């Protein structure tokens, strides 16, 4: 009897569905499973090739007539801390961040739920339950962390661990060549603080401290207001037909 051992990943193509970023467009994705001992190495390789992770799936766009989704990463050693970014840091001096194990909590889900209801009430994640959220966080075969952002200061309500109010969370993968921000959310009432920007700036600093070269931000989509913010973090590299192209402005 012969036994066939398949070490190569198997890739699949989804059926067309409405694009969440560009009105009137259809999207398709190519995907594979990230499971078992090979998951970490495979996730590293595929991330370098423009794939993103969602639980135990790695995927990337495979649209037939559109190439608008472009993978973006920041070479953190060269990142320019402009005046706008420095203002964001100054405005949030009372915010502390902590990278910890990928363990879901009801406190996180409350923030997640508020974020979805305010910013993505008609999106594909709108009906996610607390169990769905737990799966999003825990269902990973790679090195995944949570980065929590909390207020600090006198006269603030504290949780049972003595921590200040939670205002933002990032689900983050640690790759061989950088950090990858898988999914981030924050309290919608904190819009004036630019918490989304703060979380990216914090991840740039964390990547630098780890001695890793890149922060992966996912897809930048030209023409999409939802994704326009990613173009602000310069210089950056965008994945094209010939590899990663550097963009200075």
Is the pLDDT at 178 greater than 60? The verdict is yes
Which of 119-133, 136-150, 218-232 has the lowest average pLDDT? 119-133
In this predicted structure, what is the pLDDT of residue 188? 92
pLDDT band at residue 21 using 50, 70 and 90 as cut-offs: confident
Question: How many other β-carbons are positioned within 10 Å of the β-carbon of residue 120?
Answer: 14
Is the pLDDT at 3 greater than 90? The verdict is no
Q: What percent of the chain has pLDDT over 70?
A: 97
pLDDT, tens digit, for every residue of 23-53?
Answer: 889 999 999 999 999 999 999 999 999 999 9
Assessment of whether the complete model's pTM goes beyond 0.75: yes
Average pLDDT on 147-151 reads 98
Higher-confidence position of 122 and 38: 38
In this predicted structure, what is the pLDDT of residue 94? 97
pLDDT, tens digit, for every residue of 135-145?
Answer: 999 999 999 99
In this predicted structure, what is the pLDDT of residue 227? 87
In this predicted structure, what is the pLDDT of residue 7? 62
pLDDT, tens digit, for every residue of 70-117?
Answer: 999 999 999 999 999 999 999 999 999 999 999 999 999 999 999 999
- Nearest 5°: the CA angle 75, 215, 62 is 105
What does pLDDT average to over the chain? 93
Is the pLDDT at 158 greater than 50? The verdict is yes
Is the pLDDT at 224 greater than 90? The verdict is no
Is the pLDDT at 4 greater than 60? The verdict is no
Q: Which domains does the chain have, with CATH numbers?
A: 12-70 (no CATH), 73-218+229-247 (3.40.630)
pLDDT, tens digit, for every residue of 209-218?
Answer: 999 999 999 9
Average pLDDT on 190-215 reads 96
In this predicted structure, what is the pLDDT of residue 121? 66
């Amino acid at each position: 009897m012969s036994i066939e051992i398949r070490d190569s990943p198997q890739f699949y193509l989804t059926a067309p569905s409405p694009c969440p970023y560009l009105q009137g467009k259809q999207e398709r994705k190519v995907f594979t499973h990230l499971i078992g001992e090979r998951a970490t190495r495979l996730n590293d390789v595929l991330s370098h090739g423009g794939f993103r992770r969602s639980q135990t799936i790695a995927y990337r766009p495979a649209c037939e007539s559109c190439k608008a989704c472009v993978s973006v990463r920041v070479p953190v050693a060269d990142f320019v801390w402009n005046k706008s970014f420095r203002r964001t840091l100054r405005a949030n001096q009372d915010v502390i961040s902590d990278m910890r194990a990928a363990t879901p909590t009801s406190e996180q889900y409350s923030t997640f739920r508020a974020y979805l209801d305010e910013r993505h009430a008609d999106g594909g994640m709108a009906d996610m339950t607390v169990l769905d959220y737990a799966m999003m966080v825990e269902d990973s075969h790679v090195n995944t962390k949570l980065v929590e952002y909390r207020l600090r200061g006198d006269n603030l309500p504290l949780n049972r661990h003595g921590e200040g109010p939670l205002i933002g969370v990032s689900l983050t993968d640690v790759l061989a060549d950088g950090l990858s921000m898988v999914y981030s959310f924050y309290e919608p009432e904190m819009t004036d603080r630019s918490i989304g920007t703060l979380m990216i700036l914090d991840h740039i600093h964390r990547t630098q401290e780890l001695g890793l070269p890149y922060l992966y931000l996912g897809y930048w989509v030209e023409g999409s207001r939802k994704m326009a913010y990613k173009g602000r973090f310069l210089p950056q590299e965008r994945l094209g037909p010939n590899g990663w192209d550097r963009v200075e402005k």
